[in-house]
Amino acid sequence: MLQTTPYSSELQQPALLARARLWGLIPCAGNGSRSGAVVPKQYQAVAGKPMVLHTLDAFAAVERLAGTLVVVSAGDSFFAQHAASVRVADCGGSTRAQSVANGLAALQQQGADAQDWVLVHDAARCLITPQQIDTLIDACQHDAVGGLLALPLPDTLKAAQGGRVSATLERSDKWLAQTPQMFRIGALQSALQAAGDAVTDESSAMEFAGLSPLLVQGSAQNFKVTYAQDFALAEAVLLSRL
Ligand SMILES: Nc1ccn([C@@H]2O[C@H](COP(=O)(O)OP(=O)(O)OP(=O)(O)O)[C@@H](O)[C@H]2O)c(=O)n1
Ligand SMILES: C[C@](O)(CO)[C@H](O)COP(=O)(O)O
Please compute the mean of the pLDDT values over residues 135-158 and round it to a whole number: 97
Task: Output the DSSP codes for 132-184.
Answer: HHHHHHHHHTT-SSEEEEEEE--S-EEEEETTEEEEEE--TT-EEEEEEEEEE
For residue 115, count other CB atoms closer than 10 A to its CB.
21
Residue 51 CA to residue 42 CA, distance in Å, equals 5
Please compute the mean of the pLDDT values over residues 94-121 and round it to a whole number: 98
Query: What pLDDT, on a 0 to 100 scale, did the predictor assign at position 19?
Result: 85
Say if residue 3's pLDDT is above 60: no
pTM: 0.94
Ligand 2: residue of 224, 227, 230 to mutate (most ligand atoms within 8 A of CB) is 224
Please compute the mean of the pLDDT values over residues 80-85 and round it to a whole number: 97
Which residue lies with its CA nearest to atom 1 of ligand 1? 95
pLDDT in tens, 11-60: 455 666 668 999 999 999 999 999 999 999 999 999 999 999 999 999 99
Name the average pLDDT for the chain: 94
Residue 78 CA to residue 43 CA, distance in Å, equals 8
Ligand 2 centroid to residue 41 C-alpha, Å:
14
Residue-range domain boundaries for the chain = 14-240
Query: What pLDDT, on a 0 to 100 scale, did the predictor assign at position 13?
Result: 58
CATH code linked to domain 14-240: 3.90.550.10
Say if residue 5's pLDDT is above 80: no
At 95, the amino acid letter reads T
pLDDT in tens, 216-230: 999 999 999 999 999
Residue 139 CA to residue 202 CA, distance in Å, equals 17
Ligand 2 centroid to residue 2 C-alpha, Å:
30
